[in-house]
Amino acid sequence: MPDENKPDVARWVDEGARAIGLTIAPEYRANVIVNVERSLAIVQPLLSVELDDDLTPLPVYRP
């Protein structure tokens, strides 16, 4: 039974690539999907961290 919470990564790749004007040749597509799926797995420890609202990124830009 499909997991309704699991994103459709193939569609994500196709639509995301279209949105940024990146043509992904058919022979590259499967591996791009694998890499997005891998990123989705690796990012989980970060997504599970809760951050305070006042925690802004460290700036490196110096006007």
3-class SS of residue 12: helix
For the bound state, the minimum distance from the C-beta of residue 11 to another protein, rounded and expressed in Å, comes to 11
**Which residue lies nearer to another protein by CB, 3 or 62?**
62
Task: Tokens for 24, please give them.
Answer: 């992904």
Q: Which residues bind another protein (CB under 8 A)?
A: 12-13, 16-17, 20-25, 28, 31-32, 34-36, 38-39, 42-49, 51, 55-58, 60, 62
Is 10 within 8 Å of 30 (Cβ atoms)? no
For the bound state, the minimum distance from the C-beta of residue 3 to another protein, rounded and expressed in Å, comes to 19
Q: Cα torsion for 51, 56, 59, 62, to the nearest 10°?
A: -170
